[in-house]
Structure 1
């Protein structure tokens, strides 16, 4: 039985001539993977993916609007590392890299939709909690001996076989995971009783993020705030991260503002902001700025200082630099 071709609409904004041309070629090549991609200029309408230049004013405006609408974004940036699996590409990225990034972005955005079974999926793309909605579904994910159910209804990862969690996390970036959408009847009848253990997905993102070689599949929004303090393993959490989280817990910030306020390196701040979003803990408001924040009361303004003192004490203990 022939596999159906899946049709997607991808918008672009602010692209330079070279990446724009290579994007067209990459989209055409993906027809071989049964992905029919229609490229359109960004207008703010609903699309499956936005491809934008993070250094161009038009691209930045489109990215902010897309994040506010919870749309997946693939960004070109001269500051990108060029590492495999990131949703940020250099302007000179090859056609092959662009095609791989397109496929990953579309897979992440549509993995939970019935009838959409892309040939290659990564488990890490299916664990995203930043685009949950009332229609979120359960996915059976299989790779070799690994069998898990990604339950976006409850925000949990159910293991169907006994396996070391760290070993499973070692394979989250493998693109060969096979996915099957489960309806409620199949979940209850075929898989629920086979669950050996369940893990909350949100803490897994923080466990993954401390791995320095892991590329996070998202660029953080222009501005965000932390909705609730995450569940962290303090012994393995860098103290710099705690300083960033303490600021974000009280009010919304941009990356540049956080760098100034905390003195933490930009790449570290970006990573923390990305995990806040991926773990579903982000309050995003692209329209809110310093003028809005300035109207908050003095009681709120005192909260980050207390948190920062706690962070500093924890940091000294973790690093063995002194006693609180």
Structure 2
């Protein structure tokens, strides 16, 4: 499974033409590490990293502003004789800059996630009542729309749910409420993909299950209806378990045994079902010592296999 691409915003100030060009090349090379970087002029609002040329007259002001908001920095100056973490001498090569960017950007999210609570997107997805229905979210090079009225999110053609989920808990997300005409006129053509909240929660269960609240350990669970998922939204090995939960209530341990799946994977499915509102808590569940199977089960599971192009029972036995 490929690591989802992460998006970052890098600001630059005080660089001459040579270093600005090398910075652009170094940023483009980060795509090989599945890091998508958007370069922008210095802006302390929503920036992951500042690359600053300390020999420039504007450097002192930018340095002070960056320190005030705790933005990580990569400094380039003639005063530095040797490279060091966060520092490069004047004339640094593309490779030097690339290596520094990679280490600094990958280190930053660890600090951000330690202090974050419920991710902003999930806060909006859970909003009810008189809250605005449409919210435009931006983080780095990613822009998306949260539509609470249709319980869906809209994405650009080049962005996947997995990429969004990979940085769901970063604190650099910004949100603004917009109205429907504004979305139709300015953003609809840029955000043609639509994914349901259900697909979002199951994707979180797949890649970042720690972000979902944990249901009661022993509570049996049944799905209200089949989740709104495409074949690419979940691993094929999950489909039999989802079909079982659609058919009747199960406890996590019993379902893991019946489907030959790790217990923690089944627990992730339970988390997605609860978070998405699909869970029906049941008093009676299939016991862990018995897996009931009849003709109606076979017909329903065969329908699932045809829909997703899989042989579910053969996959379960492997």
Question: Scaled by the length of structure 1, what TM-score is found?
Answer: 0.47
Question: Scaled by the length of structure 2, what TM-score is found?
Answer: 0.48
